[in-house]
Amino acid sequence: GDAVPACQGCHGIDGNGSDEMGTPRLAYQVDTYILKQLTDFAENKRTDDTMYQMNDIAKALSPQDRKDLAAYVHTLKSPYIGSNLDQLRRDGAEVGDPAQGKMIAEYGAPDHGVPACKSCHGFHGRSAGRMYPAIGGQNYVYLKHELESWRNGANTSAADIAAGKREDNARVNDYMGQMRAVASHMTDADIANVAAFLTLSKPNSPGNPRTPSHM
């Protein structure tokens, strides 16, 4: 209806999102994941603590609207750009080291209990299955913020979630608490490094559009 603002106001015409606003890339995102997030925003199972708009927007959408939107953003074929880390550094953002982030994405950090990102999210975070979102090519500011939010939500009990109690900047709508468990072991440096690697990640290896490269 008229009450719903255009998605592109915050997420861009191409659905690539914005580091300035902290909004995520929607293009190519797994439709079932988008649908779950819109539903969770509508039911206050997830709180938009960046722009403070998504809860109201999602409530104003009908269940069919949410399905249609989720299907639509999955079809957006804007190129994988990711964040301009040099520009973010110039702007004073704290930017991690992509090379160190790659090690965690591929192999995890077993010495302090962090599993490999790719075990759930696939090669370069390009998504795997219907439940796990694409995180490769996602915006750095958003990735860093969400990992911090999962970590902040790690100590929220099931009873608190059911009662709608959670700290500010705590995200708790992950499947079986998986992301909270992962993020609870991540240091600030881990989070910055993984976000820096994933934002630059492309879904395919050079020279072959279908197969991941074997590093």
* Residue 103 labelled as part of a binding site: no
Q: What is the dihedral of CA 87, 109, 30, 153, to 10 degrees?
A: -90
* Residue 11 labelled as part of a binding site: yes
* Residue 185 labelled as part of a binding site: no
Long-range contacts of 97-102 (CB under 8 A, 24+ apart): 97/192, 97/193, 97/196, 98/193, 98/196, 98/197, 98/200, 99/197, 100/189, 100/193, 100/197, 101/192, 101/193, 101/194, 101/195, 101/196, 101/197, 101/198, 102/197
* Residue 10 labelled as part of a binding site: yes
* Residue 121 labelled as part of a binding site: yes
* Residue 131 labelled as part of a binding site: no
Binding site listing: 7, 10-11, 54, 117, 120-121, 179
Binding site listing for heme c: 7, 10-11, 54, 117, 120-121, 179
